[in-house]
Amino acid sequence: MSRDLLNFKRASPSPPPGASDDWLICMISSQLSQEVSSFDEIVSEEDSDFNNSGLKFASVIRIARLAVVHKTILEGAIGEIGTERLTRIKNRLSDWLIGN
């Protein structure tokens, strides 16, 4: 597995402004050497959310490798990551986008 996509479920209790059927997704790679240190997120076999992630190997979530796709492109979810990890990813993405 060299690349997969992870979709982020909307965590907001209400729809965002201009709600649509589009999803913001980022790349996942089993090539751990692609990690951008202190930015990307490694999901390893020892992590508490690894089994629920649906990943078969330790993988890196490439936070800056983004795409927006319509929900019809997504064939389904392979799993999900833990809430703490998702919060870290959202915070890193937000900080990067606003230039912090």
CATH number assigned to the domain comprising residue 80 = 2.30.30.110
Within-domain flag for 7: no
Within-domain flag for 13: no
- Taking a C-beta distance cutoff of 8 angstroms, is the pair 63, 41 a contact? yes
Q: And the tokens for 84?
A: 């703490």
The pLDDT of 7-33, averaged and rounded, is 74
Within-domain flag for 47: yes
**34-84: per-residue pLDDT in tens?**
999 999 999 999 999 999 999 999 999 999 999 999 999 988 888 999 999
Q: How many domains does the chain have?
A: 1
| Cα–Cα distance for residue pair 4/34, rounded to 1 Å | 14
Burial of 70 (0-12, 13-18, 19+ CB in 10 A): exposed
Within-domain flag for 64: yes
What pLDDT, on a 0 to 100 scale, did the predictor assign at position 16? 63
| 77: CB partners within 8 A, 6+ apart | 7, 54
Structural domain of residue 54, as residue ranges? 22-98
| Cα–Cα distance for residue pair 83/89, rounded to 1 Å | 10
Cα–Cα distances (Å) from 29 to 4, 35, 37, 75, 98, in that order, read: 6, 9, 14, 18, 25
Within-domain flag for 9: no
* Average pLDDT taken over every residue of the chain: 86
